Amino acid sequence: MKLFADLHLHSKYSRAVSEKMNALELARAGKVKGLNLLGTGDFTHPLYLKELKETLKPSQHAGMYEAGGSLFLLTAEVSQIFTQDGRGRRVHNILFAPSFEVVDQLNEGFDKWGKRDYDGRPIFGRSCIELADLCRSISPDIEIIPAHCWTPWFAIFGSMSGFDSIKECFGDRASMVHAIETGMSSDPAMNWRLSQLDDITLVSFSDAHSPYPWKLGREATIFDLDKPSYNELIDSIRKKDPKRLLSTIETQPEYGKYHWDGHRACNFSCDPEESKRLHDVCPVCKRRMTIGVEHRVNQLADRPAGFVPEGSIPFKALIPLSEVIAGVLDTGIMSKSVWREFDSLMRACGNELNALLEAPYEKLAGATHEKIAKAIIDNREGRVRVKPGYDGVYGVPIFGEKEKVSIAIEPAERSRLGQQTLGEY
């Protein structure tokens, strides 16, 4: 069974997250995207956990749950702010759990660390070593995955508060870490430059805060499991098995919010080479810039760009479909014209990932404007340039010349589009 999985999400109980982020809405939105396995997110929050226990039902696949016709894994993210080796550290970790019983035990342990009811992603002043010890004391089936591992401010390799290795962060518990999440500002090719990661599985998930299709599933991992279950999925990650873990779907790393160095307030960004010339100092305000992911990878890499280690899991870099349409039409991503073309492509292709990855040009061109169809193919084949993101600013896809493409919308259709929600799909 092929599983298109997005296992890093947040619920409506997390800060700055859509009210629609609940299991049933995620199931509906996942079908639009082409996902059939989703993380619940936020199982640490008491109110959301109560909702999950009421909504999710055990599926025929052990350790996986079902709601709205989609499969779910019990997942959460925790933020850890602590001091280690005389330096302040800030690391986010994703947790997978095989059952509500294990989740309840984890939460009992977290209650000894601090409060869980104020945010879906709780903050604890405990180290990653302590997190590993807690998980090991409860169940060997709990999986710990460092989240968006290169993000400057809150990640294991972050330039501002992270570590230089998994061993440095987790100590002699490093053997418990089998995978890292690449995050939007890096892709597997960048991570392949570090020999220390050769035995680590690279996974990708969206960290979505809303169910819109340009957020949910913008990064995902594709599994192929003969007998799908929680333990089988975890085993495929722990063994880095290319027969069961087929590939990851990434955004182009330039699209991420922290790919290059810069200062958002000063509207300034630059590549790592320019940063070196500037001694990492912003030329506008004369303060140290936020050092981005490409720069940080260069610092830790012991291999040249382009190196591909043996046994690497392949990946595909894609810009979300709504971004492609909006770029070609030169309009806002939430505009009615973008929704119209997106809707037409969904009716023709079934879901977004099929449109992005599989649908032939002829089918795409029959459902939308030929320039949009061509841009989808260019996206699929890696020909879309992206102005790199920096210091919290997303990268900007560039779709050739800014030639205005006119899409006519009939009055009756305009009324319907104005009321459109993901639930219609």
Contact 150, 92 (CB under 8 A): no
Go through the chain and tell me how many residues it has.
425
Record: fold of 2-255: TIM Barrel (3.20.20)
Return the domain boundaries, the chain.
2-255, 320-384+400-424
Instruction: Label the pairing between strands 2-6 and 37-39.
Output: parallel
Nearest to 85, CA basis, from 202, 203, 168:
168
CA 338 to chain centre: 23
Residues in a beta bridge with 66: 57, 71
Nearest to 210, CA basis, from 402, 400, 22:
22
Residues in a beta bridge with 91: 80
Helix (H/G/I), strand (E/B), else coil: 416: helix
Tens-binned pLDDT, residue by residue, of the chain (425 aa): 999 999 999 999 999 999 999 999 999 999 999 999 999 999 999 999 999 999 999 999 999 999 999 999 999 999 999 999 999 999 999 999 999 999 999 999 999 999 999 999 999 999 999 999 999 999 999 999 999 999 999 999 999 999 999 999 999 999 999 999 999 999 999 999 999 999 999 999 999 999 999 999 999 999 999 999 999 999 999 999 999 999 999 999 999 999 999 999 999 999 999 999 999 999 999 999 999 999 999 999 999 999 999 999 999 999 999 999 999 999 999 999 999 999 999 999 999 999 999 999 999 999 999 999 999 999 999 999 999 999 999 999 998 765 455 554 444 444 344 444 444 54
pLDDT digits (tens, 9 = 90+) for 109-133: 999 999 999 999 999 999 999 999 9
Q: How many CB atoms lie within 10 A of CB 283?
A: 12
pLDDT digits (tens, 9 = 90+) for 20-63: 999 999 999 999 999 999 999 999 999 999 999 999 999 999 99
Q: Token match 């989808």: residue?
A: 376
Q: Where are the alpha helices (DSSP H) in 350-398?
A: 352-357, 361-367, 370-380
Pairwise CA distance, residues 375 & 285, whole Å: 39
| Tokens, residue 22 | 């609940």
Q: Say what the pTM is.
A: 0.94
Pairwise CA distance, residues 243 & 225, whole Å: 9
Pairwise CA distance, residues 337 & 326, whole Å: 8
Pairwise CA distance, residues 310 & 116, whole Å: 42
Contact 205, 8 (CB under 8 A): yes
